[in-house]
Amino acid sequence: MATPASERPRRQEQEPAGTDITEVAPGILRSQLPISLPGLGHVNCYLLEDERGVAVIDPGLPGPQSWRALVDRLRRAGYKPRHVHTVVVTHSHPDHFGGAGRLRDAHGAEVISHRSFRTWFDPAEDEALDDPDDRSTAMATPWGRQMPWRADATFQPPVSRRLKFGLYRVAMKRFMRTPAPTRRVDDAEVITLARREWVALHTPGHTNDHLCLFDPANGIVLSGDHVLPTITPHISGLVAGADPLTEFFGSLDKVAGLEGVTLGLPAHGHPFADLRGRAHEIRAHHEERLDTLRAAAHELGAASVEEFSHKLFKARSWGQMAESETYAHLEHLRVTGEVVSHDERGTLRYALTE
């Protein structure tokens, strides 16, 4: 019998946001903003202090509640929104960019992202959605898009989540400021914040635009959602490129190869010391999932993504999100030549290569 959700141990990333401000390194403060998303209870909003004021990393969700929390955390640290000179957005999920546009437009803050950053309400992206091979669409919401593994269905999250994010989308378009970056950086570009030089690390996989920052002088990595302490980020088969798992593996190897890292600062959960070890653990988790799919292919023969997802996930997690990640793993095996796929009346079926 499955353990009820209320009795399962809570992961770090699920902990509700506290109001404390904690100095995790000289001039780097950790604050937490409340969010309510599957598996997540807070987002870490780091405050980087210098002579100009403060830089903010990942300013929470859109909306007045999150904004009030952000203003409160700034106040507790001794700042006001007008003291924010820079916002860094690690990637294009809404719990990471919410306050960016308001800080930019109302208080003159620079907004920094990776060059490929784009949100799901960007009109340019809306126009590009018809081209599934266009890499610029990699951050588009999958909602309402046809699932490649099932021609008779579109990707639809639960009604409560659709309503919540539908309101975010309407609000961002009509009432709030978009997080359009004022500076887009490339991999290996240097950014100066908190009296330190940070190296931009493009780390695609979770999203195509994911950005980490590395302070080599002090051994600190702002890891965003790329490397989390107790959970692994979702790898979507819909919106992160043709083979997001290969890109994710490459990005994990990139951060695992950094020399002298002593502190990882994730977007959710607590700061941790062994970034390299954690990156290896996350990669091993996905390698184990690939092994599970290989074994399932021997057992099932030609099978659908849904059938494979039931081998990869526990029953409580079955559904479109599980299918999306299963599809990403199956496509990785297809690209590497281990499985083949064929369309059977609108449903993709995968089998081991003969």
pLDDT of 185 higher than 60: yes
DSSP tally for the chain: helices H, then strands E: 8, 17
C-alpha–C-alpha distance, residues 276 and 101, integer Å: 34
Measured from the Cβ of residue 248, the count of other Cβ atoms closer than 10 Å reads: 26
**What pLDDT score was predicted for residue 138?**
42
C-alpha–C-alpha distance, residues 126 and 293, integer Å: 34
C-alpha–C-alpha distance, residues 68 and 99, integer Å: 10
**In the structure, what pLDDT confidence band is assigned to residue 6 with cuts at 50, 70 and 90?**
very low
* pLDDT tens digits, 236-271: 988 656 899 999 999 999 999 999 999 999 999 999
| pTM over the 0.85 mark | yes
Between 124 and 114, the higher pLDDT residue:
114
Which tokens go with 12?
Answer: 């770090």
pLDDT of 100 higher than 70: yes
Residue 217 one-letter amino acid = A
Residue 26 one-letter amino acid = P
* pLDDT tens digits, 9-30: 679 999 999 999 999 999 999 9
Task: Sketch out the chain's domains with CATH numbers.
Answer: 8-282 (3.60.15.10), 288-352 (1.10.10.10)
pLDDT of 2 higher than 50: no
- Sign of the torsion angle spanned by Cα atoms 135, 138, 144, 146: positive
Which tokens go with 321?
Answer: 């999100």
**In the structure, what pLDDT confidence band is assigned to residue 3 with cuts at 50, 70 and 90?**
very low
- Sign of the torsion angle spanned by Cα atoms 67, 73, 76, 78: negative
Phi then psi for 297, rounded to 5 degrees?
Answer: -65, -35
- State mean pLDDT over 139-147: 58
3-state secondary structure of 352: strand
Most confident region among 140-149, 168-177, 322-331 by mean pLDDT? 322-331
Token look-up 């080599």 returns 216
pLDDT of 309 higher than 50: yes
Distances 339 to 12, 94, 243, 354 between C-alpha atoms, Å? 36, 35, 14, 8
- Sign of the torsion angle spanned by Cα atoms 205, 211, 212, 215: positive
C-alpha–C-alpha distance, residues 92 and 158, integer Å: 21
**What pLDDT score was predicted for residue 127?**
38
